[in-house]
Structure 1
Amino acid sequence: MSRFPSNSRSAPQRFDPRRPQAVADVLDRTDAFRALRAGVEQMAALQRDLSALLPDYLAANVEPGFIKDGVLALFAAHNALAARLRHIEPRLLGDLQQRGWAVNALKIRVRPQPMKESAPPKQARMSAAGASALHELAESLEPSPLQEALAKMAARHRTQGNR
């Protein structure tokens, strides 16, 4: 017989590590995680406020840091954005204070973003007829750097067409 009646809604849920759980429930389990959750929620709220206060090009490239001793660290993607942030710093500081943030100063730092993978180089394709015409043109020219370049290009495209 159970301590709780079967129709009672106050029966505590047992922890089952095999069942999926909401992150909020996991973070509420211990005091250390509660503090982490509070910090994460504060950062999310600060990010939302910055997105509302900054122009789109800045909001997309600026990340908030933690507030320590009334100083908020802001991380810009590159020097030009950091310079723009410094230019609007007084207005931004006032706007953050009006929204209730306990911030007395901003510390603007540059945190370079990782390089995005570059697009693969373009691969030009030429039809067999085009490669043949290019080869004929190269044959008709006097020896010169242009004639050599055309001959190489025609040869490269002829071999690509055979694949």
Structure 2
Amino acid sequence: MSRFSSFSRPPQQFKARRPQPVAEVLNRTDAYAALRAGVEQIAALEKDLRVLLPDYLATSVEPGFIKEGVLALFAGHNALAARLRHLEPRLLADLQQRGWPVNALRIRVRPQPAKAPPPVKQARMTPAGADALHALSESLAPSPLQEALAKMAARHRRNR
């Protein structure tokens, strides 16, 4: 009797698979033909948009699919969407000139995920550094610099 159930394979039969490019996977069968065509269309559209849009917009605008002559464009936030609406007539004409079957643009906002807040500063000063800073503040004439150095020295001397 085997210690492996009939539904599982022994560990030695598993082979590590290498990552495969999406194009290679989509080319294997005709079942993915529509998906492959859509992926290629989006890639070509992204390329044209990078050329047609200003740099600050090109990096923050993503194309959607063209459905019934309407191209959906997704902006990262409202300000970019508003700027894109100002460029809409020229962009539409440029896309048509490049051969895209587009009669209208639909501009939508797709917020980007929030970035993680920066870590809290954890600066530490050695006791010798805090003493040197205190001595420097004592040697200066009264001024905003002298006050700032005194505060900094006091804060770091307290945290010992």
| TM-score, normalised with respect to structure 1 | 0.69
Q: Distance in 1 between matches of 2:67 and 2:21?
A: 30
Q: Distance in 2 between matches of 1:91 and 1:148?
A: 57
Q: Is the 8 A contact 1:134 1:151 kept in 2?
A: no
Report the AA paired with residue 105 of structure 1. Answer: A
Instruction: Identify the residue that residue 69 of structure 1 maps to in structure 2.
Output: 68
Gaps of 5+ in 1: 1-16, 138-146
| TM-score, normalised with respect to structure 2 | 0.71
Instruction: Identify the residue that residue 130 of structure 2 maps to in structure 1.
Output: 131
Report the AA paired with residue 104 of structure 2. Answer: A
Equivalent position SS for 1:109: strand
Give the CA deviation at 1:120: 1.5
Alignment of 1:1-163 (within 5 A): 23-132=22-131, 151=154, 153-156=156-159, 159=160
Per-residue CA deviations over 1:97-145 (Å, capped at 9, x if unaligned) read: 00000000000011110112232122223232232357788xxxxxxxx
Gaps of 5+ in 2: 1-14, 138-149
The 1:135–1:154 alpha-carbon spacing in structure 2 relative to 1, beyond 3 Å, is farther
Equivalent position SS for 1:101: coil
Instruction: Identify the residue that residue 8 of structure 2 maps to in structure 1.
Output: none
Q: Percent identity?
A: 69
Q: Distance in 2 between matches of 1:18 and 1:150?
A: 58
The 1:96–1:133 alpha-carbon spacing in structure 2 relative to 1, beyond 3 Å, is same
Q: Is the 8 A contact 1:134 1:154 kept in 2?
A: no
Q: Distance in 1 between matches of 2:60 and 2:130?
A: 47
Q: Distance in 2 between matches of 1:130 and 1:74?
A: 55
Equivalent position SS for 1:89: helix
Q: Is the 8 A contact 2:63 2:74 kept in 1?
A: yes
Q: Is the 8 A contact 2:125 2:156 kept in 1?
A: no
Number of residues of Structure 1 aligned to a counterpart in Structure 2: 134
Q: Distance in 1 between matches of 2:122 and 2:17?
A: 50
Give the CA deviation at 1:27: 1.4
Report the AA paired with residue 34 of structure 1. Answer: A
The 1:133–1:93 alpha-carbon spacing in structure 2 relative to 1, beyond 3 Å, is same
Q: Distance in 2 between matches of 1:22 and 1:120?
A: 36
Q: Distance in 1 between matches of 2:17 and 2:123?
A: 53
